[in-house]
Amino acid sequence: MIQIQHPEQFTRAAERLTREPQSIRRHEPGLYTVTNKTKGTQYPVRVERYDGRPFITCGCEAGTPHTRRVPIVCKHAAAVVLYLRALREMRARAAASVQTAPAFDDSDDPDMMEANW
């Protein structure tokens, strides 16, 4: 399990993403399957919060090591973090555009009157 603290943690992992693109699929809240499009391998990635702090776990050797003691940020975890950040930004933009859009007023349109329905 890796605590997400700084964007710099993901720099090297994100660089690896440019060489090997990943596909992300959500299974349930906080659980994603990341598929390496080049190799075809799949790994589960879980994003959780403990005491308000975000943590991420990947099922690959880098994310859940069997031979060494410390997990490192892998390209699968980086792909999920980038995906979630992009999703959050798109939702924020959509909410902002709804708030700034002019209200639709159909009161002067004769085709929208109740009698015409």
- For the stretch 45-94, pLDDT in tens is 999 988 888 888 888 887 776 666 677 788 898 899 888 888 989 988 88
Side chain identity, residue 95? A
The domain segmentation of the chain, as residue ranges, is 2-98
Is pTM beyond 0.75? Reply is no
pLDDT score recorded for residue 65: 67
Half-sphere exposure of 60 (CA within 13 A, CB side): 19
Q: What is the dihedral of CA 33, 34, 36, 42, to 10 degrees?
A: -30
